[in-house]
Amino acid sequence: MFVEPVAMGSGTVMIVTGDQSLENMVRGLLAQKQVRVVGASQWQDLANVSSDQKVNLIIYDMAVREVDFLSLKAAVAGIPVVVICEQMSPDVRARAAAIKIFELMEKPVVPSELSSVITRELRAGKARDSGQANGINVFESVTQLVTRSRRMSELREQIEKLAQMPDPVLITGETGVGKGEVARAIHLMDPQNKMPLVICNCAKLDKRLINSELFGHEKDTFAGAETRHIGLVERAGTGTIFLDEIGNLISECQEKLLHLLDGGTYHRLGGHEELRCQARIIAATNRRLRDSVKKGRFRQDLYYRIGVYKIEVPPLRERRDDIEQLAYNLIESLNTQLNTEVIHLGTKALEQLYQYNWPGNVSELRDVLLASMKASEGSTLHEFCADSRDGSPFFPQSKEIKQTWDDFKKESDSHLRSYLVSLIHQTGGNVARAAKIAAITRQNLLKKLQAQNIQPDDFRAKR
């Protein structure tokens, strides 16, 4: 089955700035995407935007004029706006809360991030304009999550439901499945969302500074603290704070986070002023937090508090119906990054994508496409041969399974799911062949697959 990739579509973007380099960046990003760019340099140029020109998105540089967001809302007549500013201070965020700003971006602007924002909004506008507001089209256009498979369709329903609630959410799943994208989707689908998504990767922050990064500190709190520092919680305002890899949070921060969740208040390091947190908190982990709780590495009370609602993101091998659309979405993004013009995947390439087991999930898919596109010269990726970085094959053959079911059970019960996934993948979703290899009946194997929520259809190659 071929799924037509969701295209950005034509449209018009207005960039209001006196910074020629910023305007050139926008024009360069959109030059090959059938998107018209209208340049303007004064606040007054917005006055005729709704009557003289059909504009789908406005990029407004606050260097043009320190804007009143209520005035901006009146001027743009409902057109989505990306506001670019020198520094996203709490004051700027507070004023932005008066209007449903699509995105706030801080200088210097990262081209790939701006391109992603523009693409997402133009896709959403295209879906609305064509009357496709029927769930999946608008959802995928706004969030850029691909939800064609049964597992991801169920996930989409969870996201849409949880986006209406203010409660904390815990996202779990293997490395590379896209937990950050799910957090962003919850944030974007929240009808009350007026502020940015602030991301904190707990695994990458220096453990000596993570308390300060999250909650901020006052001047002279410790050596080198020459000014007051606004933490990520405060920067999030009434938006969303995403705590990625929360299992790495040190015990001191765990205690402060629990206090924040219970009472909604916190203090900067070295400060006495009680601050109120109005942001929604979403956390993610690739660890089994229950095991961390048993080992005393993670607070049990925080585990129950942060996991009021849980979402498990399925691995890519269990959502094969999404692979083709995911690949095309990634290709579109990578074309901008690499300045390439790949627009098509050949039959052999698609077959390889569907048959591979993807232990690294969506992140690995992106890496494979990135390396292949760097080495490609045409508009079609015909086949994935060898990794140009080290000459190794992209898709090494999986080890053939020869164990009977009884032999496997004697070896270890803990690897049941891995065994079943490898078994059904090896046979391309053919349950009868898989049962023959396992030396059990087809009905018995089906029961075991059902108990592990493994769908044979997800492993059948798409043509």
pLDDT in tens, 6-27: 344 467 888 888 888 888 888 8
> What pLDDT digit, counting tens, does each position of 401-410 carry?
565 666 655 5
What confidence category does residue 68 fall into, taking pLDDT thresholds of 50, 70 and 90? low
* End-to-end Cα distance, the chain: 5
Sign of CA dihedral 71, 73, 77, 80: positive
pLDDT at 463: 46
CA 415 to chain centre: 29
What confidence category does residue 133 fall into, taking pLDDT thresholds of 50, 70 and 90? very low
Q: What percent of the chain has pLDDT over 90?
A: 17
Do 420 and 387 touch, CB atoms closer than 8 A? no
Q: Indicate the class that CATH gives domain 316-381.
A: mainly alpha
Q: Where is pLDDT greater, at 198 or 283?
A: 283
Q: Indicate the class that CATH gives domain 11-142.
A: alpha beta
Reply yes or no on whether the pLDDT at 1 is more than 50.
no
Return the number of other C-beta atoms located less than 10 Å from residue 147's C-beta.
23
Identity of the amino acid at 218? E
Least Cα distance to 192 among 105, 132, 279 occurs for 279
Q: Residues near 79 by Cβ (< 8 Å), separated by ≥ 6?
A: 49, 50, 55, 56, 57, 58
> What pLDDT digit, counting tens, does each position of 356-389 carry?
888 889 999 998 999 888 888 888 888 886 554 4
What confidence category does residue 309 fall into, taking pLDDT thresholds of 50, 70 and 90? very high
- Identical fold at 11-142 and 149-312? yes
Reply yes or no on whether the pLDDT at 50 is more than 60.
no
Q: What percent of the chain has pLDDT over 70?
A: 78
pLDDT at 428: 82
| Domain locations in the chain as residue ranges | 11-142, 149-312, 316-381, 405-459
Establish whether the linkage from the previous residue to 108 is cis, with ω within 30° of 0.
Answer: yes
Q: Which residue has the tokens 């999030």?
A: 236
What confidence category does residue 53 fall into, taking pLDDT thresholds of 50, 70 and 90? low
pLDDT at 104: 76
pLDDT at 115: 80
Do 104 and 93 touch, CB atoms closer than 8 A? yes
Report helix, strand or coil for 278.
coil
pLDDT at 242: 94
Of the CA atoms within 13 Å of residue 17, those in its CB half-sphere come to 24
What confidence category does residue 138 fall into, taking pLDDT thresholds of 50, 70 and 90? low
pLDDT at 388: 46
DSSP string computed for 225-244: --S-B--HHHHTTTSEEEEE
Reply yes or no on whether the pLDDT at 176 is more than 70.
yes
Rounded Cα distance between 386 and 392, Å, is: 5
In this prediction, residues 415-422 reach a mean pLDDT of 73
> What pLDDT digit, counting tens, does each position of 192-243 carry?
766 778 889 988 888 778 888 899 889 888 888 888 888 889 888 888 999 9
In this prediction, residues 316-344 reach a mean pLDDT of 86
Reply yes or no on whether the pLDDT at 55 is more than 90.
no
Least Cα distance to 237 among 75, 393, 79, 96 occurs for 96
Start-end of H helices in 322-415 = 323-338, 347-355, 361-375, 405-411
Instruction: Please state, in angstroms and as integers, the Cα–Cα distance from residue 266 to each residue in 77, 197, 203, 274, 278, following that order.
Output: 38, 19, 22, 6, 11
DSSP string computed for 129-149: HTT--SSHHHHHHHH-----S
Vertex 310, ends 153 and 301: CA angle to 5°?
Answer: 180
Between strands 275-276 and 265-266, the pairing is: antiparallel
Q: Which residue has the tokens 């926008």?
A: 26
Q: Residues near 433 by Cβ (< 8 Å), separated by ≥ 6?
A: 427
Reply yes or no on whether the pLDDT at 278 is more than 90.
no
> What pLDDT digit, counting tens, does each position of 177-192 carry?
999 999 999 998 887 7
Phi first, then psi: give them for residue 204, nearest 5 degrees: -95, -20
Rounded Cα distance between 371 and 386, Å, is: 9
Q: What is the mean pLDDT of the chain?
A: 79
What confidence category does residue 254 fall into, taking pLDDT thresholds of 50, 70 and 90? very high
**DSSP state at residue 400:** P
322-337 burial code (b ≥16 CB/10 A, e <16): bbbbbbbbbbbbbbbe
Of the CA atoms within 13 Å of residue 14, those in its CB half-sphere come to 23
CA 258 to chain centre: 25
Rounded Cα distance between 232 and 247, Å, is: 18
> What pLDDT digit, counting tens, does each position of 88-109 carry?
665 566 556 545 555 678 888 8
Do 15 and 22 touch, CB atoms closer than 8 A? yes
Architecture of domain 149-312: 3-Layer(aba) Sandwich (3.40)
Phi first, then psi: give them for residue 57, nearest 5 degrees: -155, 140
Rounded Cα distance between 372 and 157, Å, is: 34
Least Cα distance to 155 among 112, 189, 132 occurs for 189
Phi first, then psi: give them for residue 168, nearest 5 degrees: -65, 150
Reply yes or no on whether the pLDDT at 169 is more than 90.
yes
Classify 358 in phi/psi space as left (phi over 0), alpha (psi -120 to 50) or beta: left
Sign of CA dihedral 338, 341, 344, 348: negative
pLDDT at 447: 86
Return the number of other C-beta atoms located less than 10 Å from residue 388's C-beta.
11
